[in-house]
A and B are shown apart, each in its own frame.
Chain A
Amino acid sequence: MMIEAEHLFKRYGTRLVVNDLSLRVNVGDVLGFIGPNGAGKTTTMKMISGVMPPYAGKVRIDGIDIEAEPRLAKSRIGFLPENAPLHMTMTVRDFLAYTGRLHGFSGRELARRVDRAIERCALKEAAGQEIESLSKGYKRRVCLAQSILHDPKALIMDEPTDGLDPNQKRQIRELILSLKEETAVIISTHILEEVDAVCSRVFLLCKGKTRFDGTTDEFRAKADALHTDLAGLFSAMTEGEQA
Chain B
Amino acid sequence: MFTFFRLSMNACRECLREPVYYLMLVAALIMIGLFPYFAMFVFRQQIRLVCDSSMATTLLFGLFAAVLCSARTISREMKNGTVLLLMSKPVSRFAFVISKVGGILASLTIFVLVCNSATWLSILIAKDQFRPSTPLLICYFGAICLAALFGGIRNFISQKSFSSGAVVAMAVLFPVISLIAQIIRSRTMSDVMKADPESFIDPGVLLPALCMLFFAVWIMGVISSALATRMEIVGNLMVCLILFLIGMVLHYFAAAAFGTGSVIALLCTSLVPNWQLFWMADALSNRVVIPVSYFAWTLVYSVLYAAAWTGWAFFLFQDSELARDTR
Contacts and interface: CB of A to CB of B under 8 A. Distances in A.
Interface of A: 12, 42-43, 46, 49-52, 70-72, 74-75, 77, 79, 81-83, 85-87, 89, 91, 98-99, 101-104, 128-130, 143, 146
Contacts of A103: 89-90
Contacts of B80: 83, 85
A151 to B, nearest CB: 14
B321 A74 contact: no
A138 to B, nearest CB: 16
* Chain B interface category by residue count: 20 to 34
Contacts of A43: 327
Given A70-B92, A102-B3, A130-B159, A85 B322 contact: no
Given A81-B326, A85-B80, A87-B82, A50 B159 contact: no
B72 to A, nearest CB: 10
Contacts of A98: 6, 10
B6 A82 contact: no
Contacts of A75: 90
A84 B295 CA distance: 47
B323 A85 contact: yes
A70 B90 CA distance: 7
B84 interface: yes
Contacts of B17: 89
Contacts of A89: 14, 17, 161
Interface string B143-169: 000000000000000010100000000
B321 A52 contact: yes
A81 B90 contact: no
A102 B17 CA distance: 21
A87 B323 contact: no
Given A81-B323, A128-B159, A102 B89 contact: yes
Nearest to A84: B81
Interface of B: 2-3, 6-7, 10, 14, 17, 80-92, 159, 161, 321-323, 325-327
Given A43-B327, A98-B10, A102-B6, A85 B90 contact: no
B323 A79 contact: no
Contacts of A128: 159
Nearest to A43: B327
A50 B6 contact: no
Given A46-B84, A51-B87, A98-B6, 19 more contacts: A12-B321, A42-B326, A51-B84, A52-B321, A70-B90, A71-B92, A72-B90, A74-B90, A79-B85, A79-B88, A83-B81, A83-B325, A83-B326, A85-B81, A86-B85, A91-B159, A102-B89, A102-B90, A128-B159
13 contacts: A50-B87, A74-B90, A74-B91, A79-B84, A79-B85, A81-B323, A81-B326, A85-B84, A86-B82, A89-B161, A101-B2, A102-B7, A102-B91
Contact of A81 (B2, B10, B85): B85
B327 A101 contact: no
**Residue from B85, B92, B325 with most neighbouring chain A CB atoms (10 Å):** B85
Contacts of B325: 83
B85 A146 contact: yes
A81 B86 CA distance: 11
Contacts of B7: 102
A82 B326 contact: yes
A189 to B, nearest CB: 15
Contacts of B90: 70-72, 74-75, 102-104
A74 B84 contact: no
B132 to A, nearest CB: 39
A110 to B, nearest CB: 12
Contacts of B327: 42-43
A12 B17 CA distance: 35
A74 B87 CA distance: 9
Given A81-B84, A82-B81, A89-B17, A99 B89 contact: yes
Contacts of A83: 80-81, 325-326
**Residue from B82, B83, B92 with most neighbouring chain A CB atoms (10 Å):** B82
